[in-house]
Structures are given as C-alpha cells and as structure tokens.
Structure 1
Amino acid sequence: YSALLARAGMTGPGPIFEGQMGFEKQLGVSLGNVGEKFAVPFAKTDHGPASMILKTSIKNWPAEYHSQSAIEAALFLREEVIDLARVKSVTIESHDASVDIIGSEAEKWRPATRETADHSLPYITAIALIDGEVTNKQFEPERFADPRVWKFLENVHVERNAELSAMYPGAVANIVHVDLADGRRLTKRVDYPLGHAKNPLKDSQVEEKFNVLVEPMLGSDRARKIIEIAWKLDEAKNVDELMCACVMPKDANR
C-alpha cells in the first residue's frame, strides 16, 4: 500500500532511516551511506540462527504499545475496585519512553481524536479501569470525549520511574496505583504484558485478535483463508496468494 501511495506521488518525512524513531534505531542497525548494501547478522540462539521476528511483541489491545502493561494492570485492579465511585485517584508509574511519547502533553488528558486517545497513557489506563475492556469501542468519539471520562482523568497522574526506565526496552513496564476513598491503595505492576516476546500470545489468541478485526470487513470464510495462508507463509514461493486473499471488496464498510 505504501508503494502504491508513493507511485501516486505522496511524500512523507525525509529521515525515515536516521530519525529518532527511524529504521536504524528501531532495529539497531546502521545503513551507512545512501545506496550502500548492508547486512544484519542473525542472532544466535540455542535453536540456531534467529531473526528479529523471534523477539517481536504483539499488542493484545488496540492501543499504543507502551500502554499494554498499564492496561493489564488496570484490568487486574478493576476486579478489586468494584465501585468506581470509591476511586480517589490513579497514579501510573512508567518509564521515560512511555512518559515522553504517551504520557506528558496536556492533550493526553483531554483526547479530542482517536489518534490522541489511543496514544494517551492516562486515558487508556483510565478507560480500562472504567469499562473493564479496551477494544475499538473505547476509541470512538462518544467514549473518549465523554465528559464523565474527562472528569475521571482529572485525578489520573503519570510519574517517571527510574527503575522501569533502566529496564526498558527489555521490559515495557508500568505500575498502576489506585487510591480509594477509604485510604487504601491498590497496586499492580506488570513488566511483560500479554503479547510481549517474553510473555507471548498463544496461536489461538493471535487468531482471535485477527478475527475480531477482520471478520467484520471480510467475513469469516475470508478471515479463515488468510489465517491458513499466513501460518504457512514460510513455505510459500511468494506472497501473491496472501495479497489476493487480503484484497478489500469494493462494497466493504469503511
């Protein structure tokens, strides 16, 4: 899709390789001068050569990755809170990358767009605690702009934690504290959220996430076909079959 956009004349940021969030820093490689060939050595494991895919994490919830452990912690604590009226405040201890990217600007406490809402550590954590789930529904305007949610966010605080920062990026940790009106503090820490490379999703869970997102657009039969092809992609000579299976029908809801 990106190649088609480029062919149509669309342009984007120039330093996609060298930038702070660019290719080089994300994969830990250096491309050298433009046009130079480069090689990325395979990591050595007990099972032989392994590529970066074996270190890949998958988001279990449809929100920015640094929030995943906060979501898991909030959902855990919700079982103890029961009555949200008893919540006096919520404090999220996070690492520097998380705070800088999704937990510092004022707009994170007053999300006006989906893009801000799903990149807001305070909103994502709060809505997990309030709704008991984080799905696409939580990123619809009527939810993230709800005045009652914004009121709750007034008592959600984000703090930097040096220990968690030192663990990053090996761990993507968050600590969530919920202070109750009776003086009690409930706390949950999650270092490796479900879907992290060190706490991977089961194949069945990956399929479940895929089906939730794809079936409404392509139907269950097409979704199943894509899954079957994807699980055997290492045996395929090319990606033609997969690309054809993923073509969006013209009458699909958008």
Structure 2
Amino acid sequence: MATKNPVPASAARRRNQGRPPSAPDGPTGRITTWVAGLELDDVPPHVRDRASHLLLDGVGCLLVGSHLPWSEIGVEALTKLDSGGGAAIAGWGSRTTSAPTATLLNGSFIQGFELDDYYPPAPLHVNSIVLPVLLAVASQQDVSGPDFLLAAIRGYEVPGRVGLALHGPEMLTRGWHSGVVFGPAASAVAAGTLYDLDAAGFEDALGMAMTQACGLMSAQFESMVKRMQHGFAARNGLTAAALAAGGYVGIKQVFERDYGGFLGVFGEGHDPQPEEITAELGTRWDTELYAIKPYAAMAGLHAGIDAVLKLSASNPIDPSNVATIDITVGSAAYGHGGFPIERPITNITAQMSLRYAVCVALLDQGALMAQFRTDRINSDDVWDLIAKTTLHEDSSRDTYKTTVRITEQNGHHHEETVESPKGGSANPLSNEEIVEKFNSLTEPLLDSVRQKAIRTTVLGMADREDGPRQLLKLLTAEVPNALA
C-alpha cells in the first residue's frame, strides 16, 4: 500500500536544484545537471507521446513474461529468500516482496521472452530496467502520473549515451551483455527522479550504480539468467538511488575518473568517447530511438527474419527444395547470434540463434511466441534446414545489416539484404502498431475491460495524478502462463 509522500515531487526538485555536482563541466556533472533540471514541460509533446507508448510496450511484455516457466522458478526462489515488503510482483495477485526483489523479478518478466524494446546504436533493453523501478517506488510512496512519466523519460535518455561512449555494439562483440553494463545508469536516474534527487544526488546515485555494472553474454546459451540480467541492472540502480536519497556518498565523477572510472575500466584499450554521454542533450531525444520488436527474438536476428519473409512474399519458397541457406552479418550479430547449435536446444538459445530464427521463419512465415515454444524448437523440419545453413561474418557491416541467400536444389537462388529491420530506427513501428502489438500480446491473458483500462491508464499517464496507483492495481491481478 502506497504511503503519503509529504513533499510533492515537483516541489522537491525545484527546492533541490541548488546543489551542484562535484565537477559541473565534466561528463558526469553535465549529465546529472541536465537530468535534475529536466521537467515534463521541457519535453516536446511528440516525445512524451512516444514515451507513453514505449511504456505500454513494456507493460505488455511484463504481463506476457510474468508466468513463463523460468519466471515462476524465479518468483518461488526469490520470495522464499525475501518474503518481506509490500512491492507488487506483476501478475501474481497478493504475492509481494521487497522493492529490490520485485524490481529484479519484474525486470526479468519484461525480458522474459525477447519481445521487449532495444536501443539500436548501443544495445540495451530499457523498459526492463526503467519500468520495474518505477513500479517498485510507486508501491512504496505516492507518485503522480506526470512524475512517473518524467522519471521514465529521464531514465530513457541516459543509458544509450553511456553505451555510445563505449562504442555501443563493440561491447557485445567483446562478450559483455551490453545493456546490463549501461543499464544501471537508467534505473538510478529513473528511481532518483521519484526520490527527488538533485544534481549532486544523481551524481552519488550514478557513482553507486555504475560500480555494480556487469553482465556476461555467455548467459545467452543454456542458462535462464539471460532473462534476469537487465533486472539486475534495474535492482542495482534502485538500490543506488535509495542510498543516495538517504545521504550515502557514491563515487564522484564516476564516468571520467582517471583511476577506476567507468569509461576507463570498461573501455580500456578501446578509446572511449566521454563526449557521447552529453551529446545533443535536449535536441536528440533517445526516447524516440528505441526500437519496438515485432518478433520474439534477439534484435540482431530481426533483419534476417525480415529478409526471409520478404523473399517468401515475393516468390514463395518450398522449404523441401532448399539446398543451402547462407546468412551474412556484421561482427556484432555474428558473435551474438552466429554460434553453432545442436539439438536439443533451449528456448533462449533458439531466440539468440540466427540459424534457428531464419529457418523457422521460412517454415512458419513468422517469428513470434509459437515459433519458440519448446515443442517447436526441436522439430525435424527446422533442423533439416538448420543443417543446410551457413553463417558468414562481414566485419565491414554495421550491427543489423543482414543478407540471406537461399539456393534451391536446381541451382536457382533467392537473395535479400535488409539494412535496418522492421521496428528499428530506420523502419520504426508507429504508435498505432505498438498498441496493436500490446493488444495482440495481452488478448489471451486479459479480459477486454482490464486490457482497455491498462492501455488507457498508461497512455494517459501524463494527465492522471493517480495513474501509477491505478496501474499497480491493474497489473497485480493474476494472469495465466502465456505459453500454456
């Protein structure tokens, strides 16, 4: 149950803006000063509207992921460890836990089936980091709809810039789970907004959040933990912001410190670019750059899926007549999704695999939840095609450019190159398409009244003082297993 916050958030922010960061002209100081000063009225209306739709996509993914098998294992294990607290676990009725654990679990739900957003220039999944933090704080104190939306936008604007300072996709190529490395910046800023931090407080929060940055991309193979790692980033940023709000002092100038600073450590030998952290603040809105996924697969697979669907649409291909499939991608997608696979595989491996995704899309003419169910991923027809598939790395390509070449047994071939996948920055889903995705994902899970109420509450958040409280009520009620 939320408790009354004695100081309205907007008033507290105005009061606190006088405390500057320790080095106002450095990257850490400039980003914290900008974040602390940004108000909802400063954000263009079209950006606020996009942020609301981005939140709606996150809510849809949250509900879909809440009762998947690995999500249920996580809830049972962590609530046994941590049964105290009143923070809501989405889709689990009266089951509650502490704010950090709820944040971790809700983040894992959003990442639960590879349906959530991504940031193309510097890969991360922002809603799995930001939304759980907002819900956790709103479970503990009164939060207005406008402040909820402002906290989301502030959180959306920071982590991609941190990622670009480390050359974005290069982190994936090196084996880091990049979004988990960049992500604590988003959760610290989002939570810090609701805790009324000023610029100096945000500096402390970022200093404590970024020292917890980590994530190994080997999680994408057989483990369940790939689903949870962005939740780690969300939980860590929440903890950092709460400590900063209590007066705990974090690392100062965390991004640029010569010894042990974030960019120096993670970018060692790779020439980090600290200027990217504050590039075009207030003129380039990263909130508008997040891609919304039309497929239930890792983002680096989407161009390959698009390519095979385009080939099939222009000239239907009989899979039984396929002799070879050749897929050519850049280094980041090759390292992330080009690994060899052998039957049997797990759901997460299928959702990370270029070979599997392209083959199942050719067979089923789609790549949504049905194509990554356990009963589908080990089917003979898919593995017959996988055996004919070869991956090629082209280091000159950018992250998403993919070529699929299908050669038939008579020697005739079909070829398609996709530069930017559907949903990506060059071909984004419209707000209307995001609503359609939400409706499609949640229709099997929610009755029409609840579905409409969630949609109306999220999209109207900027005008609803009670929006977060209503959203929590709507999200808490139980939902079924989306794969059942």
TM range (shorter): 0.7 to 0.9
Deviation at 1:74, TM superposition (A): 0.8
- Which one of the candidate residues 55, 78, 95 is aligned to 2:289? 55
Deviation at 1:123, TM superposition (A): 0.4
Residue of structure 1 in register with 2:448 after alignment? 220
Judge conservation of contact 1:117–1:124 (CA < 8 Å) in 2: yes
- Which one of the candidate residues 251, 261, 280 is aligned to 1:43? 280
Deviation at 1:4, TM superposition (A): 4.0
Q: Does 1:246 align with 2:475?
A: yes
Q: Does 1:101 align with 2:364?
A: no
More displaced stretch, 79-88 vs 23-32:
23-32
More displaced stretch, 139-148 vs 233-242:
233-242
Deviation at 1:219, TM superposition (A): 2.0
Secondary structure of the residue that 2:443 maps to in structure 1?
A: helix
Separation (CA, whole Å) in 1 of partners of 2:278 and 2:462 = 20
Q: Map Cα deviations across residues 33-66 of structure 1 (whole Å, 9 max, x no partner).
A: 652467964735xxx5344211111111111111
Matches within 5 A, 1:104-119: 104=339, 106-107=340-341, 109-119=342-352
Separation (CA, whole Å) in 2 of partners of 1:5 and 1:180 = 55
Separation (CA, whole Å) in 1 of partners of 2:179 and 2:297 = 20
Measured at CA, do residues 65 and 198 of structure 1 come closer, stay the same or move farther in structure 2, by a change above 3 Å? same
Question: More helix per residue: 1 or 2?
Answer: 2
Residue of structure 1 in register with 2:432 after alignment? 204
Deviation at 1:211, TM superposition (A): 1.4
Residue of structure 1 in register with 2:312 after alignment? 78
Runs of 5+ consecutive residues of structure 2 not aligned to the other structure? 1-88, 91-96, 106-128, 130-158, 164-175, 187-202, 212-249, 256-276
Q: Which amino acid aligns with 2:475?
A: C
Separation (CA, whole Å) in 2 of partners of 1:126 and 1:27 = 35
Matches within 5 A, 1:1-254: 1=89, 4=98, 6-7=100-101, 20-25=177-182, 31-32=206-207, 34=211, 35-36=250-251, 41=278, 43-44=280-281, 49-79=283-313, 80-104=315-339, 106-107=340-341, 109-164=342-397, 167-168=398-399, 172-237=400-465, 239-249=468-478, 252-254=479-481
Separation (CA, whole Å) in 2 of partners of 1:103 and 1:26 = 25
TM-score (norm 2): 0.44
Number of residues of Structure 1 aligned to a counterpart in Structure 2: 237
Secondary structure of the residue that 1:43 maps to in structure 2?
A: coil
Separation (CA, whole Å) in 2 of partners of 1:137 and 1:32 = 42
Secondary structure of the residue that 2:178 maps to in structure 1?
A: coil
Secondary structure of the residue that 1:112 maps to in structure 2?
A: coil
Judge conservation of contact 1:94–1:160 (CA < 8 Å) in 2: yes
Taking only the aligned residue pairs, the percentage that are identical comes to: 24
Deviation at 1:5, TM superposition (A): 7.4
Separation (CA, whole Å) in 1 of partners of 2:98 and 2:410 = 58
Q: Which amino acid aligns with 2:178?
A: M
Structure index of larger Rg:
2
Q: Which amino acid aligns with 1:253?
A: P
Q: Map Cα deviations across residues 43-102 of structure 1 (whole Å, 9 max, x no partner).
A: 35xxx5344211111111111111111111111112324322221111111111111112
Q: Map Cα deviations across residues 15-50 of structure 1 (whole Å, 9 max, x no partner).
A: x99965255546999955652467964735xxx534
Q: Which amino acid aligns with 1:244?
A: K
Judge conservation of contact 1:70–1:175 (CA < 8 Å) in 2: yes
